[in-house]
A and B are shown apart, each in its own frame.
Chain A
Amino acid sequence: MSHMEQTIEAIGTDVEHAISDGLARLGVGRDDIEIEVLDDGSRGLFGIGAREARVRLTLRERREGGKARVFAATPVEPVAPPPSPPAAGAPAQPLSAEPEAVRSPPEGEVRDEAEIAREVLLELLDLLGIEQAQVTVRQAKPASEEEESPLALDVQGADLEVLIGRRGETLAALQHITRLIVGREMEGWVHLVVDVDGFKARREKSLRRLAQRMAEQAVKTDRVVALEPMPPHERRIIHVALRDHPHVSTESVGERDRRKVTIIPR
C-alpha cells in the first residue's frame, strides 16, 4: 500500500488557503483528495500567534484497500505526555518507544492523531475553565478483537467532578465534541475515548458487577429484571457483560433517556 507518492504538503495563511493552494498544484477538486491538517496555523490553539497553516493532501484513489488511519498492531503503550502543551510545530514525538519493530504504520498519522486529540481536549478544558489539568494519551485495548484500538485520553487533575456530570453526561458530551473536532482535523472518523481520573474504568467495573448480580437475581426469581435508565455506552457494557451468560438474555426497552436494560431469564 504505497500512498505516499501522491501526497503533497501545502501552506497558506489558513487551512482553507493551504488547501486551495494544494488543490491548484495538484489540479484536482476537493472530492479527489484526503486532507490532513498538519498545522492549523492562524487558529492558534495555544494562542501562539500567526503561524502559517500546513496541510497534507493525498489523492484519494491511492488510499484504497485500507483505512485512512491504520493503527499498527501495537499493544497498549503509554505515551509519555510532554509536561506542558507542546509548542506548535514541535518536533515529532514518537508515539511508540519501539522503533520499526512492527510493520511501520503511517507513523506521522498516528502521532498526529494523538497530538491533535490532546491539543483539542486541552483547549476544550481550558475553555471550560478547568485549570492545570493534565491529559495523557495512550493506545487502549480494543473492546473486542475485531475493533480498532481506541486512542484513550485521560484527564487528570483536581476538582474534575464537574467534567463527569450526572450519570457521566458531561463526560459523554466532552468525548463527543472532542471526537468530532479531531475527526474534522483528521478528515475521518476517529476512535477515541475520553476519561476523567479513571471514572469510566471504575464505572464499567461496577456496572459489570451489577450486571452479574442482577442476572443472578433474574435466574433465581425467574423474572425479568429491569435496571435503571442508562446512557447508551453504559447499556452496552451491560449487554456485553451478559452476552455469553448461559441463562439470561438482555434487551433495552424504553425511549430516549428512559431507555434501560432488562435482563430476561431463559
Chain B
Amino acid sequence: MDSQASMKELVEFIAKSLVDDPSRVHVSEIEGENSVIMELRVGPEDMGRVIGKGGRTVNAVRTLVRVLAAKQGKRVTLEVV
C-alpha cells in the first residue's frame, strides 16, 4: 500500500466515521517535495464534529496523519475547509 493513498484513507475513514453525512466528506492532497497539504471537506453541520472542542479532534487527526507522513520524511498540514 503506498502511504500517500493511506494518508488520505486514514483521514477519510476517521472523518466518515464521525460525521452525520459521510457522503459530503472529501479529502484532497496537494503534494510538494517535502510536504503534503491535505484539505478535509465536510458538510457545514459536521464541521464541529471533525474539529472538536478547541480543535482537539482535528489535532488528533493531524497527529495520526503525521505518523504516516514521517515514514516518507514529509511534513503534513491538514486543514478543515
Contacts and interface: CB of A to CB of B under 8 A. Distances in A.
B67 A163 contact: yes
Nearest to B59: A173
A181 B67 contact: no
B60 interface: yes
Contact of B17 (A163, A165, A184): A184
Identify the 3 closest CB pairs spanning chains A and B, nearest first: A173-B60, A173-B63, A127-B10
Interface of A: 43, 120, 123-124, 127-129, 162-163, 165, 169-170, 172-174, 176-177, 180-181, 184-185
Given A127-B9, A129-B6, A129-B71, A174 B64 contact: yes
Interface size class of B (residues with CB under 8 A): 20 to 34
Given A127-B9, A128-B68, A170-B67, 7 more contacts: A127-B10, A128-B10, A163-B67, A180-B18, A180-B52, A181-B17, A185-B17
Nearest to B54: A256
Interface in B39-77: 52, 56-57, 59-61, 63-64, 66-68, 70-71
Nearest to B21: A16
B64 A177 contact: yes
Contacts of A170: 63-64, 66-67
Contacts of A184: 17-18
8 contacts: A128-B67, A129-B71, A163-B67, A173-B63, A176-B56, A180-B18, A181-B14, A184-B17
Contacts of B3: 129
Given A129-B3, A129-B68, A123 B60 contact: no
Nearest to B66: A170
Contacts of B1: 129
Interface in B1-46: 1, 3, 6, 9-10, 13-14, 16-18
Q: At the interface, is chain A mostly helix, strand, loop or mixed?
A: helix
A120 B10 CA distance: 12
Given A129-B3, A176-B57, A180-B57, A169 B63 contact: yes
Nearest to B17: A181
Given A181-B14, A184-B17, A176 B60 contact: yes
B67 A162 contact: yes
A177 B18 CA distance: 9
Contacts of A176: 56-57, 60
B9 to A, nearest CB: 6
Nearest to A170: B63
A207 B9 CA distance: 36
A184 B49 CA distance: 10
A184 B13 CA distance: 13
A138 B6 CA distance: 29
A119 B71 CA distance: 24
- Residue from the set A176, A177, A181 with the largest chain B CB neighbour count within 10 Å: A177
- Residue from the set B6, B59, B67, B71 with the largest chain A CB neighbour count within 10 Å: B67
Nearest to B60: A173
